Structure 1
């Protein structure tokens, strides 16, 4: 509810009233948040436990998936507060510090999740399309350094969001909300407006569009490589299809979860810049935003399914975890992406065979 935050912290009066305030939102959104919280906590905790207990962190994919699960867990701990915020009619009873911290963690999870998904996509591209040449880059050391860079970069990008949030008292409804600052002084208001515009643009570009283009590009190149290899090795068709289904599910989940929210987020930015006094448009956006946010937050539940539970080895280790089976002292620990990595070398061989066959035909 961006439009409810214009004014000073000692009490503000809204031009459009408490837009987006509907009983359906106050009832449905907390229920959805509660379901996401339970499913996400259980799913991501299982991912962390399975990787920690039964899979050594000696593969790049395992390291990225573990960090992705930890990122989702850090965000999920804020959902009970946001559920309370919605259930009480957008009343924030937790104080200014938790308002800033919770808003910052939401943006922090947005960036870390998408950055780790992008890193995982690039790793899958290198592993499948360039398995031999990428060995020097796809090491545990590089993966850990990449994770540290992602955490730090995402933290820096989320700090402005936390600094521009605070609690406000709404005179129209006698409610205290957690929202964006808007000072009364014109000079400060102009600077804050420019900062908010920069934050929103970064959220759209760095938080969705640029990573999505990279992910789509990686998976298109992977798909082309797998299709080319399948023409040479007909016996691996089922494995090709399984890998393609997993990659397609990852892309589809990413787009469906974050796409609607990013569309309305761009509309919200345009409204603030052009149609800020059009209460009808503000009402539509503020009504739709809670539902798009629910869909976006659902990505924290989808990640464990797409990147963990699809793998046969992960399911087997999950059953071992649920049965409280002890860890094996010896023997290799399978990777979450073992099927993909194992097939990558056959893909490289098939692609080289294709190149050789074309070269021989040219000689003839």
Structure 2
């Protein structure tokens, strides 16, 4: 989170420069409701899909294996990120400590990686099924399972920087005596160059290359 340049002359302040308490912001009340709906629908929907896959052997085919992986990735981010992220809109400072900060940022990256790479693999599988359907039925099930496991391993590896460097940072609120604490995914000591580099790397890894 880059530092914001605030004017030093208080006589030149406008309404956008003045800190507004969370209790006066509409998103403080709207966002938790929206996130609660996302949490309930996400857990019920993805949880049901996982249970159906486990209970019905006929559902255990190649495309459904990838869909199961997507559902597990969604459940991961819904359970570990949504409740904590909604808090950012309701309280000024991060209240959960550094361990949850690292967990939340890392699982967010894992979920993104699993979703992107699984959709890429599913698209490739569908293409191969159309081009050569006979070969698909002979050899693709073990390969699909190995691919799904490899996707999760790759997603965890790519999330390692977030798990390692995420920490609690502080920022003073201008023209007040308050200081806020927030979860920040980049190490301060490496400067803004590292943050820009990681953003560019994630753009390439999660968007450009899978395309």
Query: Equivalent residue for 1:174?
Result: 179
1:224-263 aligned at under 5 Å gives the runs none
Residue 31 of structure 1 and its aligned partner are, at CA, apart by: 2.0
Unaligned runs of 5+ in 2: 7-16
Matched, 1:94 2:99: no
**Contact persistence 1:161–1:199 (CA under 8 A):** no
Matched, 1:15 2:5: yes
Query: Equivalent residue for 2:10?
Result: none
Matched, 1:156 2:157: yes
Query: Equivalent residue for 2:199?
Result: 200
Instruction: Check 1:106–1:114 CA distance in 2 against 1; reply closer, same or farther (3 A cut).
Output: same
Instruction: Check 1:96–1:74 CA distance in 2 against 1; reply closer, same or farther (3 A cut).
Output: same
Could you tell me how far apart the structure 2 residues matched to 1:114 and 1:19 are? 38
Could you state the TM-score of these two structures normalised by the residue count of structure 1?
0.49
Deviations for 1:275-305, whole angstroms, at most 9, x for unmatched residues?
Answer: xxxxxxxxxxxxxxxxxxxxxxxxxxxxxxx
Deviations for 1:31-57, whole angstroms, at most 9, x for unmatched residues?
Answer: 221111111000000100111112346
Could you tell me how far apart the structure 1 residues matched to 2:133 and 2:20 are? 51
Could you tell me how far apart the structure 2 residues matched to 1:152 and 1:113 are? 13
**Contact persistence 2:109–2:159 (CA under 8 A):** yes
Could you state the TM-score of these two structures normalised by the residue count of structure 2?
0.81
Poorly superposed stretches of 4+, deviation over 6 Å? 17-22
SS in 1 for 2:134: coil
Instruction: Check 1:156–1:142 CA distance in 2 against 1; reply closer, same or farther (3 A cut).
Output: same
Could you tell me how far apart the structure 1 residues matched to 2:20 and 2:36 are? 21
* Pair member with larger Rg: 1
Instruction: Check 1:31–1:103 CA distance in 2 against 1; reply closer, same or farther (3 A cut).
Output: same
Query: Equivalent residue for 1:46?
Result: 48
SS in 1 for 2:26: helix
Residue 181 of structure 1 and its aligned partner are, at CA, apart by: 4.3
Q: Which has the higher contact order (CA 8 A, sep 6+)?
A: 1
RMSD over aligned CA atoms reads 2.5
Could you tell me how far apart the structure 2 residues matched to 1:204 and 1:56 are? 37
1:84-163 aligned at under 5 Å gives the runs 84-89=87-92, 91-138=93-140, 140-163=141-164
Residue 164 of structure 1 and its aligned partner are, at CA, apart by: 2.5
Matched, 1:70 2:60: no
Q: How many residues matched? A: 194
Deviations for 1:335-355, whole angstroms, at most 9, x for unmatched residues?
Answer: xxxxxxxxxxxxxxxxxxxxx
Unaligned runs of 5+ in 1: 7-13, 214-364
